[in-house]
Amino acid sequence: MTDIIKIAVMGAAGRMGRMLVAEIIARDECILSGASDVENSPYLGEDAGILAGCCNIDIKLTADSAHIIAKSDVIIDFTTPKSTIAHAKLAAQAGAAHIIGTTGLNNDDEEMLNIAARHITIVYAPNFSIGVTVLMELTKRLAATLDEDWDIEILEMHHRNKVDAPSGTALALGKAAATGRKTDHDSKRQSTRDGNTGARKAGDIGYATLRGGDVVGEHSVIFASDAERIELSHKATGRQIFSRGAVRAAIWAKTQSHGIYNMADVLGLND
């Protein structure tokens, strides 16, 4: 019989943290081994299962991340860059795989992940949706097929409270397109158009951002040429797609060798 995988959730009191806890409870392959939150959280000491809207599972939220990481096979982390890097160091010491959905990590942070990945398995992705992962792969392949006669534009929409733009997923789609086209994303990125901008430059990767309502996330990659257009789109109607994908990644990571992977690896798209 396959061993049950012990998974801890960092930031378990947050919206995504609660969904992760609920997803782990619902799965047969894994159990919740611990749940953490920040030191000043009002939820410390509360049962993680009850917070997630499930049942009492006798796992209390704690600020002692080191303790729960040490007794886990895998940790899932949708927190902040500072916390994620601290967790990566603890996971490397404990030998626990690390699933990272945190956004906003800078180059120095990512270098720290590379160091940690010498000792553990890390799955680091801007979006854990299975559908978005497939969209990224299709974007890369289509960009590799079509030349610069095809303009690339990325349109995204999120809820009114989202504070960053373009979204991390939109940027990841743009980088996938740049990879497919074998060009440098940052030099081709065009995020702002206002006033008399002049004609579009060949090879640019353009971004447009919409904000409003309670939209979970919508992304479209548009390839436009003379007299024809190809559009690839994904629409998320519930955030459980992210928790479902992250737990799938956690189960997959348990049996992988050390290194940094992404969701395309989890789905076998990089094989």
* Residue type at 135 in one-letter notation: L
Confidence of residue 168 (pLDDT cuts 50, 70, 90): confident
Closest CA to 244 of 49, 91, 76, 38: 76
Give the pLDDT confidence score for residue 157 in this predicted structure.
97
Cα–Cα distance between 232 and 210 in angstroms, integer?
A: 17
Please list the residues that pair with 112 across neighbouring strands.
none
Confidence of residue 115 (pLDDT cuts 50, 70, 90): very high
Residues near 194 by beta carbon (within 8 Å), at least 6 away in sequence: none
DSSP 47: B
The residues assigned a catalytic role are 158, 162
- pLDDT per position as a tens digit, 140-151: 999 999 999 999
- pLDDT per position as a tens digit, 174-203: 999 999 999 999 999 999 889 999 999 999
For 15, phi then psi, to 5°, come to -60, -50
**Is 158 in a helix, a strand, or coil?**
strand
- pLDDT per position as a tens digit, 193-231: 899 999 999 999 999 999 999 999 999 999 999 999 999
CA dihedral 58, 63, 68, 70 (to 10 degrees): -160
Angle between helices 168-181 and 130-145 (to 10 degrees): 30
Does residue 103 surpass a pLDDT of 90?
no
Does residue 239 surpass a pLDDT of 90?
no
Task: Report the percentage of the chain scoring pLDDT > 70.
Answer: 99
Does residue 1 surpass a pLDDT of 60?
no
- pLDDT per position as a tens digit, 44-71: 999 999 999 999 999 999 999 999 999 9
